[in-house]
Amino acid sequence: MSSEILPYILNYYDKEVIKLICEKYGLTEWEALRRFMKSETYSMLSDSSLEMWDFGYPAIFNMWECEQITGNPRNSSYFREE
């Protein structure tokens, strides 16, 4: 994927995941954005080699939430084979 497309993808995920964080946790958009962008989940999403955009935004939110609870986004059911 070209590096020009990645910012548009990140912008989409930022908007959608932030909306879910705000709705579920009652945070301001600013605080939700800050927490999301400082997360390992966001670092993984920003790494084009991982192709995380194959996951929808609800999955990315799930990974972020798992990271908040367990410390590791890879504990999400989207990574585990069950």
- The model's confidence at residue 4, banded by pLDDT at 50, 70 and 90, is low
What tens digit of pLDDT does each residue of 17-33 get?
A: 999 999 999 999 999 99
DSSP string, 20-82: HHHHHH---HHHHHHHHHTSHHHHHHH-GGG-GGGS-HHHHHHHHHHHHHHS-GGGSTTTS--
The residue extents of the domains of the chain are 6-75
Digit-coded pLDDT (tens) for 7-64: 888 899 999 999 999 999 999 999 999 999 999 999 999 988 888 888 999 999 999 9
pLDDT, mean of residues 66-78: 94
- pLDDT class of 81 with cuts at 50, 70, 90: low
